[in-house]
Amino acid sequence: MPDLWRKLGRRPILLGDSLPIVHRPVIDVAFWIVWLFAATGVLTAADEHDVQWFENKIRPALVEHCLECHSSETEASGGLLLDSRVGWLAGGDLGPAIVPGDAAASRLITAIAYDDPALEMPPRGKLDDATIDAFRRWIDNGAVDPRQPTRQGARPERQTGLPVDRAGEHWAYRPIARSTASIDGLIDRQIEQSGLTAAPPAEPRALVRRLVFDLHGLPPSQQTIDRYLADPSPMAYDRLVDRLLASPHFAQHMARRWMDVVRYAESITLRGFILPEAWRYRDYLVTSFANDRPFDQMIRDQIAGDLLPCDDIVETQQRAIATGFLTLGNSNLEDQDKTKLEFDHLDEQLETIGRAFLAQTIGCARCHDHKFDPIPTRDYYALAAILRSTTPLKHANLSKWIEKPLPLDPATEEHFRALQSRADAIAAELKTLQSLENGTPSNNNRIVPVDTLPGVVVDDADASYVGDWTESTFVKPYVGAGYRHDGTQGQGSKSVTFDPAELPTGQYEVRMSYTSHENRATNAVVKVFSANELTTLRVNQRRRPPIDGLWVSLGVFPFEKEGQTFVIVSNDAADGCVIVDAIQFLPVADPSAVNTDPSDKAVDVDLKAIAARQKKLTAELKRLQSELNERPMYLTISESEPRQEIPIRVRGNVHQLGDTVRRGFLTAIGPAQRYADKIGSDQSGRVQLAEWIADPTNPLTARVYANRVWSWLMGEGLVATENNFGTTGQTPSHPELLDHLASGLIDHGWSTKSLVRMIVRSDAYRRAASDDAQRIAIDPNNRLYASASVKRIPVEALRDAMLCVSGEIDHRIGGSTIRPGTRSDYDYRHDSNRRSLYLPVFRNSLPPLFDLFDFADSSVSVGQRAQSTVAPQSLAMMNHPWIIERARQAAKRRLDESAGQSTESIIGRLYQSCYGRPADADEMQLCLEFLGGGGTPPSEDRLADLIQSLFASIDFRYLE
């Protein structure tokens, strides 16, 4: 097959009328199933459509959502198998799951429609309505299912799983073994043992193209190729590798790879909600890979970075932003059962953490002990208790994700704090003015909680008293739980001191709250002790407080952090009852904007003055809000009151409680107990979770990441099931090599660049692709790495390569790329020419071509993307408007740049930019004929057709 691809690739798919169109053969599984049944006389004409319906609608949904827990190859949760007709007809613990011809009577429909709160599947979230309707139609039409069980009519024995105390029997849970051998020594040994001969090194141009695409996700420039070919030094390749690793393009490409693993997206499927701050997490990844941030630190960042501040503000910001990893799940925020929503949300977090860092299917233990791996349900809920001790969402009828202000340097923090305090004060005054304008005083029946007030508020409950003061709640409004008065005796001998615990240096408006009444003093003595001065005031407490019916302003005063900062109220010579309620210190950015007149004369309602004041304050509030909106925010979670233990949820039902468990980790893996013992009652345990995963003695973490990097460079992991190192995953093709890479990663400080350098410098990476018959017969999947594998470039690289050829690619780095004003992701128009990494990943509206060419499902952790080969891909390369426009732009660019040059020269440069190599004689002749010969410059339309055919060819889309 590789030889066939190369032959097709060397003949461009010409779109004009003079040459035929050639494209890669496509195998449609559903077609061959239908053909097989028809050929044997089993399938009727009516059945043909039903089989197509099953293959197109039902089988993909079963694979994606059901077979992980209901398959003879994995487990039979609840005794139910859904991987064959025999399985679902037999049913599980509750009886048959499907009644062919009657969807309404089928338990499967009850479960997936969430019609029964005790039977909701899949447990991590309801399927979309279209998929549920597809299942109903399939069952009503007879539930045609062409699949057969592995053993006809047989049901698998119940699995008990690998016990925790025998976890070491499985390779992945054993300690990492160190090896003194090299990559090539370990690979060549198996090649030799298999009787194969390794392929020779790849041709230099092919190697450069492979290396640049693998490290940058972009085609190599002509300058890069020429520089390498012209360097005779034996160190030429190493120097090329170092240059590529130092480029920002490397960091961008690695970031995109990791974004698959962490299900990165910038919107939620529900209503197309936009996550406006998600891009900061993407930029964190780019910065981290550019700086070769140790991967163990990246683990700590992503799980608990907000709990790990440091003196460096930039570092503190990066760590905080990294926790966006925990927030990117695609949850059903409309769920009115908020407890269930929270458990579904943390289940998604645990599943992603488990797959991304440990390659473990932790979520399988939510309802029962894991059927295969040493993960008891108790361990699942020990981990769940850690995330349960955080606040992941803000709840309302429609819950929402959490955004927080990004940590800033002290001066900037103080600036925004002052802005917010002033904005709060203006909002309160505007409310008062509105009530005066309407002729109705503010609500006089209020109880105002202290924590709802801006600035620093000292309530009467927190003041210091001389003499006896009586608590009261008789007159409203008041602050806190009530207020106090001095009674009728002891005039002149009683006082109250309001002393804020901490008041940063600055200018503050000081306000006093009291409840007015006709028996109050008209001359209550108030003394404000500010920076090096004492100001004495008298307040008429028979008058209603002029600010919101609650406060009177005592003026603006300077305070110093280490100076005197308190207010004393006394009943000295008072002519009535003296009230003490609260003192408020409001930071003031502009003292001249505050009315500092402490006089207590009655407020006359002057509508013109009120309107003028409202206009002025409204304009100031708008300006302040505009400034406050410039404060950067980030996506994260919050610590909540820590809990030491939570109950197990029986069969995953959040309202059916079982035994309680303490917070902890997977007891079969690494130093779990040591870190569990470190979780204090004042902590959630996220820090310890991150440390446990990042511990070099954890046997999984380094292996999993080393395997991912190997896969990104070699096309497939040493463990092909990159997200599953459990007993149902595949065993490593080279166990010793995997441990060699893992230990090397740890020894080099968890450096991604060091690991990449080690792999790409190996002979195994640099071999040529080969279609040797003996190798294919012995090793059809090339698991021995006797030659290079032919790799299809991912869709992002395909798009970026076309933009490079057309000269339109925009290489700006970082920042939000969502169009301002976007409120929903539905029908979003992706019209940017920036690198594909920076296109918004919208779950309801992916960029053009992404769905067609197997972009990762952004709702789940993806270790290895699908590699489909279907007719629509070839059709898109021939007909998609975006591709046609890139070809036209490329043609215009070539003609503009090639004025006076021959047609042969134009063709040669096109081949170099598209394939990284010159055109051979046959290709040159074919292209010249298509362009009308070399005598006159080609027409722009004809050249555009040629370029589009080069885009559509195998050589453009694959690396060898």
| 562-586 pLDDT tens trace | 888 999 999 998 999 999 999 999 9
CA 391 to chain centre: 17
Question: Given this model, what pLDDT does residue 233 score?
Answer: 95
Question: Given this model, what pLDDT does residue 594 score?
Answer: 58
**Separation between Cα atoms, residue 107 and residue 619, nearest integer Å:** 61
CA atoms 112, 114, 116, 119: torsion sign = positive
Question: Given this model, what pLDDT does residue 374 score?
Answer: 95
Question: Given this model, what pLDDT does residue 602 score?
Answer: 36
Question: Given this model, what pLDDT does residue 601 score?
Answer: 37
Q: Of the candidates 763, 754, 762, 784, which has an alpha carbon nearest to the alpha carbon of residue 772?
A: 784
Q: Of the candidates 947, 807, 797, which has an alpha carbon nearest to the alpha carbon of residue 877?
A: 947
Judged against a pLDDT cut of 70, whether residue 196 lies above it is answered with yes
Q: What is the pTM of this model?
A: 0.73
Question: Given this model, what pLDDT does residue 46 score?
Answer: 42
Mean of the pLDDT values across residues 709-735?
Answer: 96
Mean of the pLDDT values across residues 942-948?
Answer: 96
Question: Given this model, what pLDDT does residue 552 score?
Answer: 93
Which range, of 90-94, 453-457, 860-864, averages the lowest pLDDT? 90-94
**Separation between Cα atoms, residue 838 and residue 817, nearest integer Å:** 7
Per-residue tokens: 132: 């549920």
Mean of the pLDDT values across residues 759-785?
Answer: 93
Dihedrals phi, psi of 458, to nearest 5 degrees? -110, 115
Indicate the DSSP class of residue 534.
E
Question: Given this model, what pLDDT does residue 593 score?
Answer: 54
Please give the C-alpha separations between residue 409 and each of 103, 504, 697, in angstroms, as whole numbers: 61, 15, 37
Mean of the pLDDT values across residues 121-129?
Answer: 81
Conformation bin of residue 954: beta by default, left when phi > 0, alpha when psi is -120 to 50: alpha
Do you find a cis peptide bond into 122, omega within 30 degrees of 0? yes
Tokens 């600036």, residue located: 415
pLDDT band (50, 70, 90) for residue 150: low
In contact, 159 and 79? CB cutoff 8 Å: no
**Nearest-10 Cα torsion for 65, 386, 342, 263:** -40
**Percent of the chain residues topping a pLDDT of 70:** 89
Please give the C-alpha separations between residue 480 and each of 452, 474, 637, in angstroms, as whole numbers: 10, 13, 30
Judged against a pLDDT cut of 80, whether residue 158 lies above it is answered with no
**Separation between Cα atoms, residue 208 and residue 634, nearest integer Å:** 39
More confident call, 562 vs 922: 922
Interhelix angle 295-304/313-322, rounded to 10 degrees, is 70
Question: Given this model, what pLDDT does residue 532 score?
Answer: 78
**Separation between Cα atoms, residue 568 and residue 596, nearest integer Å:** 19
| DSSP state letters, 164-182 | GGGGGGSGGGSPPPP--S-
Indicate the DSSP class of residue 815.
S
Q: Of the candidates 232, 226, 298, which has an alpha carbon nearest to the alpha carbon of residue 262?
A: 298
Which range, of 325-329, 420-424, 662-666, 746-750, averages the lowest pLDDT? 420-424
Please give the C-alpha separations between residue 557 and each of 295, 590, 596, in angstroms, as whole numbers: 51, 12, 10
Interacting residues of 606 by C-beta distance below 8 A, sequence separation 6+ = none
Question: Given this model, what pLDDT does residue 75 score?
Answer: 64
pLDDT band (50, 70, 90) for residue 913: very high
Please give the C-alpha separations between residue 712 and each of 10, 135, 729, in angstroms, as whole numbers: 26, 36, 19
**Separation between Cα atoms, residue 59 and residue 156, nearest integer Å:** 21
**Separation between Cα atoms, residue 71 and residue 91, nearest integer Å:** 12
β partners of residue 645: 662
pLDDT band (50, 70, 90) for residue 435: low
CA atoms 329, 333, 335, 337: torsion sign = positive
**What structural domains and CATH numbers belong to the chain?**
2-25+879-959 (no CATH), 29-140 (no CATH), 294-403+638-694 (no CATH), 437-607 (2.60.120.260)
**Separation between Cα atoms, residue 804 and residue 947, nearest integer Å:** 13
Question: Given this model, what pLDDT does residue 51 score?
Answer: 67
In contact, 904 and 927? CB cutoff 8 Å: no
More confident call, 807 vs 597: 807
Average pLDDT over the chain reads: 87
Which range, of 245-254, 467-476, 590-599, 852-861, averages the lowest pLDDT? 590-599
Q: Of the candidates 823, 861, 864, 865, which has an alpha carbon nearest to the alpha carbon of residue 845?
A: 823
Judged against a pLDDT cut of 90, whether residue 860 lies above it is answered with yes
In contact, 534 and 524? CB cutoff 8 Å: no
Judged against a pLDDT cut of 90, whether residue 32 lies above it is answered with no
Judged against a pLDDT cut of 90, whether residue 603 lies above it is answered with no
- Run of H or E residues at 830: none
Q: What is the pLDDT of residues 359-378, one digit of tens each?
A: 999 998 998 899 899 999 99
How crowded is the C-beta side of 394, counted as CA atoms within 13 Å? 7
